[in-house]
Structure 1
Amino acid sequence: MQKSFSLIQTVAISGVFSAVSCWYGFMFGRESARKELGGLIEELRRGGSDSASPPHS
């Protein structure tokens, strides 16, 4: 017996997958930005010893 998905089931599954991948991407990006900002804040607190270097983009 062959099991096949209907169009609605396929769209629903792809929508759930898309939502989950967007959520993980958002959370990973947020954590990455938090770490980068944490490093910049610590650098500023230390007095910006390498303030002669160009700012990070």
Structure 2
Amino acid sequence: MIDVAFKPVGPQLGKLIAEGSSDETEIPLLHTMDRTRIWVWVVYLLLVATAFLGNIKPF
């Protein structure tokens, strides 16, 4: 899901480079980064949960 959420960044960065910095080019990029960041945190939380379960070995 990180790759899926991050996919629009390429064209958005291209537009930012071509047109320069403005709210019109940076706000969509910021929203894409924010959506991607959510999935990164999900992965981190799942890694912590996996490590916790591995340490306590409930079964």
> Counterpart in 1 of 2:38?
23
What does 1:1-57 align with in structure 2 at a 5 Å threshold? 7-42=22-57
Mark the structure with the bigger radius of gyration.
1
> What is the TM-score when the length of structure 2 is the normalising length?
0.56
Question: Of Structure 1 and Structure 2, which has the larger fraction of its residues in helix?
Answer: 2
Structure 1 moving runs of 4+ over 4 Å:
none
Question: Identity of counterpart residues, as a percentage?
Answer: 10
Following the alignment from structure 1 to structure 2, what is the Cα–Cα distance between the partners of residues 9 and 25?
Answer: 25
Number of positions where the alignment pairs a residue of Structure 1 with one of Structure 2? 41
* CA RMSD between the two structures: 2.3
Q: Which 5+ residue runs of structure 1 have no aligned equivalent? A: 47-57
- The higher-RCO structure (CA 8 Å, 6+ apart) is 2
> What is the TM-score when the length of structure 1 is the normalising length?
0.58
Q: Which 5+ residue runs of structure 2 have no aligned equivalent? A: 1-14
